[in-house]
Amino acid sequence: MNIGKMMNTSPLTVGPEADFTTMLCKLSCLPGRLLYVVDGQGRLLGLVSSRDLLALMVPPYLDSNLARAVADDEAIVRRAFAAHKDETAADIMVTEIVALTPDDQFMTADAVIREKGLNALPVVDKAGRLLGEITRRDALRYLTLSCCDCTCDGVE
Amino acid sequence: MFWTATLIFVTAYAVIVSEKIHKTKVALLGAALTLITKVLTQHEALHDIDLGVDWNVIFLLISMMLIVNIMTKTGVFQYVAVKSAKLGKGNPFTIMSIFAVVTAVGSAFLDNVTTVLLLAPVTLLIAEQLEIDPVPYLITEALASNIGGTATLIGDPPNIMIASKAGFDFMDFIVHLSPAIIVIMVVWMLVWKVVFGRRLHVKEHLKARIMAMNENELIKDPVLLKKCLAVLGLTIAGFILHGLFHYEPATVALMGAATLLFISGEEPHHALAEVEWPTIFFFIGLFIIIGGTVKVGLIELMSQKMIDLTAPTPTSMFTLSMVMVWFSAIASAIVDNIPFVATMNPLLIGMAGKVFGATDVATLQNATMLPVWWALALGACLGGNGTAIGASANVIVVGMSEKAGHKITFVRFMAYGVPVMFLTIILSTIYIWLRYYVLGI
């Protein structure tokens, strides 16, 4: 089972110049937890996750206990947004990427996702162009459709 | 054997100073080479009091780390920090001064690194709420941690090592070093008032944010806190009295740690997992490397050089004391003060052997030798303030600040650290000269 068959071919993408608000809007309003930063030719440059954006909005030094002492957390978030609003996708993105190719096996993808503690992995061609993404949910959906009678129709 | 031990010692020292490879890896490899080349036998490395691992230091460190690790879970340190900020009524300089004193007192009785690790997040939060630069606060805390840690036997690893080798007890440090540290803290805070007093101002509505913080929410486990405070209190009482009952400090600390582990309900593997094992194994490796140099006579050779340079006599070691405080400070600003003191301890014992003809505890603690030990402790501990890599607390603060988006450059740290280092070393020099060579008390 290669992942070319099960990947989502419409991942969320932005250009490197995308601003902070655009990234926040895309990740909040559209399905998907990763933004793929691509250049004009569709080559993958980096990733921005919802966790990366949250880390900029919530002070990293606050642990669950210390956070309880804060009287107005909304004000902290607003100040953090003001401090980061001019940053672009190129400033924030993670560039050390683990990517798969469409020919990789499902077992490989699942093992990499587990080992790296990620939610999704990009799938690229030999030139590094983004073809899609594989998430645990995509894999599960494919396996469900292939192995049992569940068609998802009428499931509540 | 002489050249083998010397080569291992010099190479290990050079690689540790370069910071290219983790110091624990270097120390353990150096120790393994010392044993495999038979410079030191395994029996000597593990059982010989003069040549081997100083288990008193090792168990004191592990036990205190265990006590602090369990205590951290109660949230008491965050409570104290937020309460302190509220005591300062949101006034930036008052908060800076109170945090410096809290850090110094905390570091005198707990590990320096733990103290700054616990206080730095609260400091960052307070600075964020006041909308001011946290860097002067964080650097002040690192400096206060190193200064406060100098005051007691358990405050800083160099003091633990000196106490173990020279046979000092907890009260010796309180009597001889605490007065110097109190003077240093007062003078430093007066200087800081001149530097920061007028510069740090915030509007009233920002101060109100601090006053709105709820410190009572931070105590996670009041029952565990009571147990921790009781055990810590008894352990400190034990330290004060250990000389009287002829117990080593490690025995007192182990009793405290074991009792707290027993009554706290903490799982041993959790509490033990958080012990700083790399630091513990760094000490073990270092003791073995230094033991090799003592056995082959390298340390004896160096102590003869020290005698030739400073001309100590059985009645006065004035020149040596003065040189020691400055040499230790400058060396400790550049290299880790732990290997430095690990080398200086046997060197001073060797020198005492040549000058007095004996190296028993009474000789090592006689009136002529005392100022030299205190000069070493003051220089080695306070010298760490000079640079961002001079002490572990500095490294931690720089790392946490950068992670929070406030980069502290090496030069910026030195802009604070070097003047404070010189101020504290000048005061230490005056203290040693006045107390031991003018007043003779």
Cβ B150 vs Cβ B381: under 8 Å: yes
Buried b (16+ CB within 10 A) or exposed e, B238-270: bbeebbeeebbbbbbbbbbbebbbeebebeeee
The H or E element spanning position A120 is strand A120-124
Give B58's Cβ-side CA count (13 Å radius). 16
Of B34-38, B319-323, B338-342, B428-432, the one with minimum mean pLDDT is B338-342
CA distance B70 to B262: 11
The two three-digit tokens of residue B226, written as one number:
């009571």
What band does B324 get if pLDDT is binned at 50, 70 and 90? very high
Q: Find chain B residues with C-beta within 8 A of A59's C-beta.
A: 124-125, 128, 404
Runs of H (alpha helix) within B311-409:
318-334, 337-356, 361-364, 370-383, 392-403
The shortest CB-CB distance from A65 to any of B78, B120, B212 is to B78
Interface residue A145 vs chain B (CB under 8 A): no
The two three-digit tokens of residue B397, written as one number:
């603060």
DSSP assignment letter at B33: H
Report percent pLDDT > 90 for chain B: 56
What band does B166 get if pLDDT is binned at 50, 70 and 90? very high
Interface residue A57 vs chain B (CB under 8 A): no
Runs of H (alpha helix) within chain A:
20-29, 50-57, 73-84, 89-92, 106-116, 136-147
Cβ B155 vs Cβ B236: under 8 Å: no
What band does A117 get if pLDDT is binned at 50, 70 and 90? confident
Task: Residue count of chain A, please give it.
Answer: 156
Express each pLDDT in B119-132 by its tens digit.
Answer: 999 999 999 888 89
Residue of A nearest to B211 (CA): A71
CB atoms within 10 A of CB A48: 24
CA distance B175 to B414: 31
Q: Residue B385, SS3?
A: coil
How many residue contacts between A and B have a Cβ separation below 8 Å?
50
Pairing verdict, β A120-124 and A44-49:
unpaired
Question: Which pLDDT score, from 0 to 100, does residue B179 have?
Answer: 96
The two three-digit tokens of residue B176, written as one number:
């001889």
Overall fold of domain A3-147: CBS-domain (3.10.580)
Q: Do A62 and B125 touch (CB under 8 A)?
A: yes
Q: Find chain B residues with C-beta within 8 A of A60's C-beta.
A: 403-404
Per-residue pLDDT, averaged over B61-89, amounts to 90
Measure CA of the first residue to CA of the last residue in chain B; give whole Å.
Answer: 44
Residue boundaries of the structural domains of chain A: 3-147
Q: Do B125 and A61 touch (CB under 8 A)?
A: yes
CA distances from B353 to B349, B360, B363, B377 (A): 6, 9, 9, 20
CB atoms within 10 A of CB A20: 21
Q: Residue B37, SS3?
A: coil
What band does B382 get if pLDDT is binned at 50, 70 and 90? very high
CA distance B267 to B372: 44
Task: Name the CA dihedral angle for A9, A11, A16, A19, rounded to a multiple of 10 degrees.
Answer: 150
Q: Do A68 and B217 touch (CB under 8 A)?
A: yes
CA distance B428 to B415: 21
Encoded amino acid at A20, one letter: F
Most A CBs within 10 Å: which of B117, B125, B138, B211, as the mutation test of the A interface? B125
